[in-house]
Structure 1
Amino acid sequence: MKPRALLFTLYGEYVQYYGGEIWVGSLIQLMKQFGVSESSVRGALLRMVQKDLMKVRKIGNRSYYSFTPQGQSQTEDGVNRVYGERPFEWDNTWRILTYSFPEEKRDLRNEIRKELMWIGFGAISNSTWVSPNPLESQVLEMMERYELHDYMMLFSSSTVLSHSNDWIVNKGWNLDEISREYEKFIEQYSDKFEELQNKALNNTLTDQESFIERTQLVHEYRKFLFKDPGFPAELLPDHWKGTEARELFWKIHQLITIPSVRFFESIFEPAPDREVEIDRDKAINPFDKVQV
């Protein structure tokens, strides 16, 4: 696991439900479970602060880290996409984004491409990206944040005259490849589910192992957010493997979530000058439409 990606996972899965701030020593202990060294943790935190994704408070000789509004927005977006209800009903509207960057801004252009892929846009030409999902607010916020109004325009249309919806989907995304990736996930985690279920039945599943397994599970599943655009049902092929993978993800998550949260709580240390608002129920059950 890369330290920065692991930080997003830990904050999205646990820290945000415990006041959103954590002592660096707790982070070091938590990330140590995944083989991340103390120096790597501190280096990742420094880079996150420099990129205005995280902020730090000093209390005595202790440092406490939390996300900035920008970092929190990225975290919430990821959590909502992992745990939100999918697939959804389409409004028959395509969001169409065009841009033209001067060559001296190619680094910014590359950053924008990464963000567009993250939120679910697909490229149908070098400078034209589309999505069937209601992403207007995210795009407008991105345009405001990066000051892109001189380089980028966002349209929406319910009618495409020259091409079919299937053509657009096949041009912008490789659903066959995404489906194969889901198949690999299903194969790997079907065996993992049986293993964890047997341990739970035999009372040999520890809190520490549950924490590691849940965090790794979410970390792996989050990778699909960079691949799967989260299409509405009307645009998905029959027997979409993403549905089966999501059901398996949910079953494993629910099996190990309570002991994993218990392990987090045994390591977590909040700042002493604040009364932490804890939403333990949400940490245990972040799914929007599912009750524990």
Structure 2
Amino acid sequence: MSDSPLRPSSLINTVYGAFLRRLGGWISIADLITLMGELDVDGPAVRSAISRLKKRGVLEPERRGATGYRLSPAAHPVFDEGDRRIFASLEPADLADGWAMAVFSVPESERSHRYQLRTRLTWLGFGNIAPGVWLAPGRLLDDARAMLVRLGLSEYVHLFAADYAAFSDLAQTVSDWWDFPAIQTQYAAFTDTYAPVAERLAAEGEPDPAEAFRHYVPLLTQWRRLPYLDPGLPTELLPPDWNAVAARQLFQRLHAVLLDPSLHHVRTVTGLEDTA
């Protein structure tokens, strides 16, 4: 597990996203407390985190013979978008695919929307190239469009599919639009935490389901932040010492080893079965 504590609400989000969506999207509070206890999160912390997730519209209470919570309908597209970003966009973008450009202007009387736009575009991986002008690899265009519509922000934004024509050295210029050192620091922290785990698992063989679960949930919780910090820029535009490649390979290796036994453990604890 990471040396820096992961928030209980983030761990719960991971449990729902990685396992419970495919098991019907619901879990009893008792079973959730059991699973979270294996991650060193006690019952009061679980209940407090559930309360916050309920207020944010992520979870809804539902009784199925026992008190529990299910993912709200509004949360499903957010998790689907996360899947695309976390699992499908692991490789760098292709420079030939061009760029997604967002241009917005928000009246001062609605500056909270301006803050929300900046926050959400940053979270999607957009870099700020000028006031009100944001840029990302072209493959993020559909996710940006869906996010803006979902949050009711589309009326403030013009989205463009763009190509870079001239006049600077683009590889040098993009380093002003994204904070490469900060991104690399996050990748290094991930690798420092989980490279020893991978070595130990390689030496000891396949872990039992409970141990796999204890590794996988923190692993995915820490990893899923990174594809949002990293826009996935084309390789030609990245520094020569870019450390994301090794971190991605490490994540993919551990994901392949740990996911299935972790899911088996969740099924065993909850008695839930796949709904697909």
Pick aligned residue for 2:192 from 163, 187, 194: 187
The match for 2:214 is 212
SS in 2 for 1:95: strand
Residue 258 to residue 53, structure 1, CA distance change in 2 (3 Å): closer
Q: How many Å separate the matches in 1 of 2:230 and 2:149?
A: 26
- Determine if contact 2:98/2:137 at 8 Å carries over to the other structure: yes
Partner residue in 2 for 1:6: 11
1:173 Cα offset (Å): 0.8
- The aligned residue for residue 15 of structure 1 is 20
Match for residue 53 of structure 2? 48
| Offset, 1:239 | 5.4
Matched, 1:65 2:69: yes
SS in 2 for 1:45: helix
Residue correspondences, number: 270
- Where 2:129 maps in the other structure, the secondary structure is strand
Task: Choose which of 107, 113, 118 in structure 2 pairs with 1:113.
Answer: 118
- Structure-2 change in CA distance of 1:198 and 1:64 (3 Å): same
Matched, 1:240 2:242: yes
Take 1:42 and 1:23, find their aligned partners in 2: how far apart are those partners? 12
- Of 163, 177, 180, 2:182 maps to 177
Q: In the TM superposition, what is the alpha-carbon distance from 1:168 to its structure 2 partner?
A: 4.1
In structure 2, what is the equivalent of residue 264 of structure 1? 266
Q: 1:108 to 1:2 in 2, by over 3 A?
A: farther
Alpha-carbon distance in structure 1 between the residues aligned to 2:265 and 2:141: 39
Give how far 1:86 is off: 1.2
Percentage identity across paired residues of the two chains: 27
CA deviation after TM superposition for structure 1 residue 22, in Å: 1.9
Closer, same or farther: CA 54–88 of 1 in aligned 2, 3 Å: same
- TM-score of the two chains, using structure 2 as the length reference: 0.85
Length-normalised TM-score, structure 1: 0.81
5+ residue gaps, structure 1, are 271-275, 280-292
Does residue 109 of structure 2 align to residue 98 of structure 1? Answer: no
The alignment partner of 2:247 has SS state of: helix
CA RMSD, 1 decimal = 2.5
Q: Counterpart of 1:226? A: 228
Compute the displacement of 1:90 (Å): 3.4
Q: What letter corresponds to residue 59 of structure 1 in structure 2?
A: R
After TM superposition, give the deviation of residue 263 of structure 1 in Å. 1.7
Partner Cα separation in structure 1 for residue 15 and residue 260 of structure 2? 15
Task: Indicate conservation of the 8 Å contact 1:32/1:38, yes or no.
Answer: yes
CA distance in 1, matches of 2:23, 2:224: 21
**1:179, distance to aligned residue in structure 2 (A):** 2.5
Tell me what 1:288 maps to: none
Moved more, 216-225 or 178-187: 178-187
Quote the residue 2:79 is aligned against: 75
Matched AA of 1:64: G
Change (3 A) 1:103 1:38: farther
Q: Is the 8 A contact 2:127 2:134 kept in 1?
A: yes
Q: Which residue of 1 aligns with 2:137?
A: 132
Gaps of 5+ in 2: 1-5
Q: What is the alpha-carbon distance in structure 2 between the residues aligned to residue 20 and residue 99 of structure 1? A: 36
**How many Å apart are 1:47 and its aligned residue?**
2.9
Shift of 1:162: 4.2
